[in-house]
Structure 1
């Protein structure tokens, strides 16, 4: 699943090295805390109905990381998961949330990703980027399901819209 760190201590990393920059995040109540090391290999904004319902918002911002980049530092026993079987892509997602406050924190997909994108196919952690503690420099690269975008949400000009047919073929 996700790596766990029992010490809770900050790790020493070189200053200003994007590959080793450690960012922290948490659920709303702070019971679940995590660290992510480095940058996501993809940042996607998703407008599908399931992501909207899971977040209670018009869209969800998802950072895709290799599993080894994500470490639960507190509250792993507080995380619960919901197996979301009927996603827009047809690929089940496991949505991890805090059992105390209900915040979505992490997701895992059963999708098969190309080896050359992420390394081991099953080793992808998707972080709900709204839970990152401080601002980050990442910009969305892909907008999933733009045809489902709520009318009051404008297109994100830094993304590549990915219509339904392309999203289904990508299985993620």
Structure 2
């Protein structure tokens, strides 16, 4: 069942109210996520209309690829979210899971770009594991508005 949570960056300049949060955490092993986070991307996916951002003046955004951008707090540097760049700013938020004030009840359910995972780590438990080619095929098949 979806629920409501709050989140914030390290310094508290950016605060978020999130509704309809799914209990699923996703891990991404791609090079961009590793470089952005220093390890891997751990995100929760939140619909664009389910996030209220307070302190938006402290949000900076970097176009990290031809099709996506990453936002961070310009004061403390905390990674905030990743979003596909779509016309009309309707993209979901791939919100950094570590920003959440309460992580109870969340579970790692999916690892993507699994074929690029470094040998240095492995997660316990059963997760859906998708290679980079599988992920890219899924997004290519998704209807664009």
Q: 1:139 aligns with which of 107, 115, 122?
A: 107
Query: Residue by residue, what CA displacement relative to the aligned partner does 1:121-164 show, whole Å, maximum 9, x if unpaired?
Result: 93412111111112231212221011211212114533111012
* Structure 1: gaps (5+ residues): 1-17, 87-91, 112-120
Comparing both structures, which one devotes a greater share of its residues to strand? Answer: 2
Matched, 1:154 2:115: no
**Counterparts of 2:122 and 2:51 in 1: how far apart (Å)?**
31
Q: 1:53 aligns with which of 35, 46, 58?
A: 35
Against the structure 1 CA distance between its residues 125 and 137, is the aligned structure 2 distance closer, same or farther, given a 3 Å change threshold?
same
Against the structure 1 CA distance between its residues 156 and 122, is the aligned structure 2 distance closer, same or farther, given a 3 Å change threshold?
farther
Contact 1:27-1:131 within 8 A present in 2 as well:
yes
Against the structure 1 CA distance between its residues 105 and 94, is the aligned structure 2 distance closer, same or farther, given a 3 Å change threshold?
same
Tell me how far 1:25 sits from its aligned partner.
0.8
**Counterparts of 1:49 and 1:156 in 2: how far apart (Å)?**
22
Matched, 1:79 2:59: yes
Query: Residue by residue, what CA displacement relative to the aligned partner does 1:43-73 show, whole Å, maximum 9, x if unpaired?
Result: 321001100110112x11111111111111x
Larger radius of gyration: 1
Count of aligned pairs between the two proteins: 140
Alpha-carbon RMSD across the aligned residues, in angstroms, is 2.5
| TM-score, normalisation: structure 1 | 0.72
Matched, 1:94 2:69: yes
SS in structure 1 at match of 2:108:
coil
SS in structure 1 at match of 2:21:
coil
Against the structure 1 CA distance between its residues 50 and 171, is the aligned structure 2 distance closer, same or farther, given a 3 Å change threshold?
same
| TM-score, normalisation: structure 2 | 0.84
